[in-house]
Amino acid sequence: MAINDFCKGTQIINCDNVSKPYSFHLGGINAAFADASVRFHREDLPPQLFVSLLTMAGGEIIGKD
């Protein structure tokens, strides 16, 4: 999956369905996580936050404030 290819300026969700996060849902995508949860992510989600949600490499702690 390509996570560094932008469309519409800074958008990486729903650009196209060729190796990128894409869905037929208007305004975003459903993403399944390893804990068996499914979450809807809006297509205007900041790219760096989206990447942080999908990877473990950065060690970021994501949570509600």
Domain boundaries, the chain: 1-55
Structural Rg of the chain based on CA atoms: 12
pLDDT tens for the 65 residues of the chain, in order: 556 667 777 788 888 888 778 888 889 999 888 888 898 999 888 887 887 777 777 666 766 55
Reading the block at residue 14, the tokens are 């729903």
Reading the block at residue 64, the tokens are 């509600």
pLDDT on residue 2: 54
Three-state secondary structure call for residue 5? coil
